[in-house]
């Protein structure tokens, strides 16, 4: 059982949707009060606005950067592709949340090697920095995606290899615990379907859906952070944590967001690299998956990394979004609980 009391924390990709929510939750102290949180990302504009939000100021001059260096939350410009910049940020770190990624499916299809460099080489740079410099990092949690499970798109393929790079690192870095979390579509994340639907409903436009059969796992940003915290609290080295969450038909999601409106639904055709259904645990992985309360823990593919030798698998088949879909009314309740998150990203 780990908490974050007195820990020095690094969040790569910390200005993203998940990164910002994760940092905000850490700052509440619910997992203990850390000594320091460093947001590492390449977008200076997002860092600037995140810094202002933390300081509760709408505008500021450059002086806030110098003042900010004395606060618990600080920011570093850098790219996970840049080994030396990443190493400099990691030198005095206890816990790393590795959230930096190229994650938009069509973008990765058009620029596959860019996804390789960020999603795979970025993870390898984290491992290399720890291994070659004997850094005192206690835990690394890699943020993955359901698309990494039986991947058919570049984003998923690179995330699947990111998982393998991080999990295998437990062999070479015995003093560091490497874990991953894998989850489905975050309702309010940038570029996701819900903000698009909300905008279309607001403007009384037709709702655009790629395919009628399409299903997805859905969870709020806070549930995504809960999964990260569960891995930190209850995970063992080499494990991949997966939340038990709702899955829904995208057509039902559109109806839930319409409310009393009756807008037409237009099917636009499947996008490059898009799956019809998402899988969070494959039928191959289910035989090495155990239950941990509200989560599944996928044990490492390498047997020598498994701390649990005798276990009963929690699943008998794949964990897919095509199964056990929630109703429109249940979706409305889920969306109501995430309404403030959705509003924040519109």
Residue 322 corresponds to which tokens in the numbers above?
Answer: 């095509």
Query: φ and ψ at 248, to 5 degrees?
Result: -145, 155
CB 180 within 8 A of CB 96: no
| 154-172 vs 122-133: helix crossing angle, rounded to 10 | 10
C-alpha 128/C-alpha 179 separation (Å) is 16
Question: CA 254, CA 247: separation in Å to the nearest integer?
Answer: 14
203 catalytic? Reply is no
Alpha-helical (H) ranges within 270-346 are 328-337, 339-344
**What HEC string does 61-129 produce?**
CCHHHHHHCCCCEEEEECCCCCHHHHHHHHCCCCEEEECCCCCCHHHHHHCHHHHHHHHHHHHHHHHHH
Q: Which of 103, 147, 159, 249 is catalytic?
A: 147
Beta-carbon count within 10 A of 230 CB:
18
Q: Measured between alpha carbons, how far is residue 69 from residues 37, 64, 133, 143 in Å?
A: 11, 9, 25, 27
User: Which residues sit opposite 267 in a β-bridge?
Assistant: 209
Map residue 9 onto helix, strand or coil. Answer: strand
Find how far residue 86's CA is from the centre of its chain: 19
SS3 305: helix
3-state class of 22 per DSSP?
helix
What are the residues whose beta carbons fall under 8 Å from the beta carbon of 69, sequence distance 6 or more? none
- Residue 132 CB: number of other CB atoms within 10 A? 11
CA distance 282 to 162: 17
Q: Which residues are catalytic?
A: 147
């Amino acid at each position: 059982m780990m908490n974050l009391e007195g820990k020095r924390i690094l969040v790569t990709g910390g200005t993203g949707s998940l990164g910002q929510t994760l940092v905000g939750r850490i700052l509440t102290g619910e997992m203990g009060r850390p000594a320091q949180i460093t947001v590492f990302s390449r977008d200076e504009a997002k860092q600037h606005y995140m810094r202002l939000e933390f300081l509760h100021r709408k505008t500021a001059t450059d002086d806030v950067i110098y003042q900010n260096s004395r606060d618990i939350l600080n920011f570093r410009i850098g790219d996970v592709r840049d080994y030396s910049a990443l190493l400099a940020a990691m030198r005095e770190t206890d816990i790393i949340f590795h959230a930096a990624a190229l994650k938009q499916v069509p973008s990765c299809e058009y620029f596959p090697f860019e996804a390789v460099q960020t999603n795979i080489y970025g993870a390898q740079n984290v491992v290399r920095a720890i291994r070659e410099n004997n850094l005192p990092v206690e835990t690394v949690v890699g943020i993955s995606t359901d698309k990494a499970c039986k991947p058919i798109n570049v984003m998923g393929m690179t995330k699947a290899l990111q998982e393998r790079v991080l999990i295998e690192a437990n062999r070479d870095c015995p003093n560091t615990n490497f874990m991953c979390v894998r989850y489905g579509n975050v309702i309010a994340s940038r570029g996701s379907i819900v903000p698009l639907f909300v905008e279309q409903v607001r403007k009384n436009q037709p709702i655009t859906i790629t395919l009628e059969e399409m299903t997805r796992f859905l969870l709020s940003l806070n549930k995504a952070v809960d999964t990260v915290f569960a891995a930190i609290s209850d995970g063992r080295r080499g494990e991949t944590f997966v939340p038990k969450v709702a899955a829904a038909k995208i057509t039902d999601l559109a109806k839930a967001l319409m409310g009393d409106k009756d807008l037409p639904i237009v099917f636009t055709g499947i996008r490059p690299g898009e799956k019809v259904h998402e899988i969070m645990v494959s039928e191959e992985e289910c035989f090495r998956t155990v239950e941990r309360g509200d989560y599944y823990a996928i044990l490492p593919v390498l047997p020598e990394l498994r701390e649990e030798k005798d276990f009963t698998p929690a699943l008998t088949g794949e964990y897919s979004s095509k199964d056990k879909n929630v109703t429109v009314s249940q979706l409305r309740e889920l969306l109501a609980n995430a309404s403030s998150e959705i509003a924040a990203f519109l």
